[in-house]
Amino acid sequence: MLYEYILIFIGAAIPWLEIALVIPVGIIRGLSSFWVMILAFVGNLLTVLPVIIGFEKVRTWYEKRQLKKGKEPSKRSNRGRKIWDKYGLPGLAMLGPILTGTHIAAFIGMSLGSEKKWVTLWMTISIGVWTLIFGIATILGLDIFL
pLDDT at 143: 64
Distance, CA of 55 to CA of 47 (rounded, Å): 12
* Chain center to CA of 43: 10
- Cα–Cα distances in angstroms (integers) from residue 144 to residues 18, 27, 138, 141, in the given order: 25, 14, 10, 5
pLDDT at 120: 95
Q: Where are the domains of the chain?
A: 2-145
Query: Burial of 92 by CB count in 10 Å (0-12 exposed, 13-18 middle, 19+ buried)?
Result: buried
Amino acid at 42: V
Distance, CA of 78 to CA of 139 (rounded, Å): 34
Entry pTM: 0.82
pLDDT at 145: 53
pLDDT at 38: 97
End-to-end CA distance of the chain: 23
* pLDDT tens over the chain, length 146 residues: 899 999 999 999 998 888 999 999 999 999 999 999 999 999 999 999 998 998 888 778 877 777 666 667 778 777 877 888 888 899 989 998 888 889 999 988 888 888 899 999 999 999 999 999 999 999 998 666 55
Q: What is the pLDDT of residues 92-115, one digit of tens each?
A: 899 988 888 899 999 888 888 888
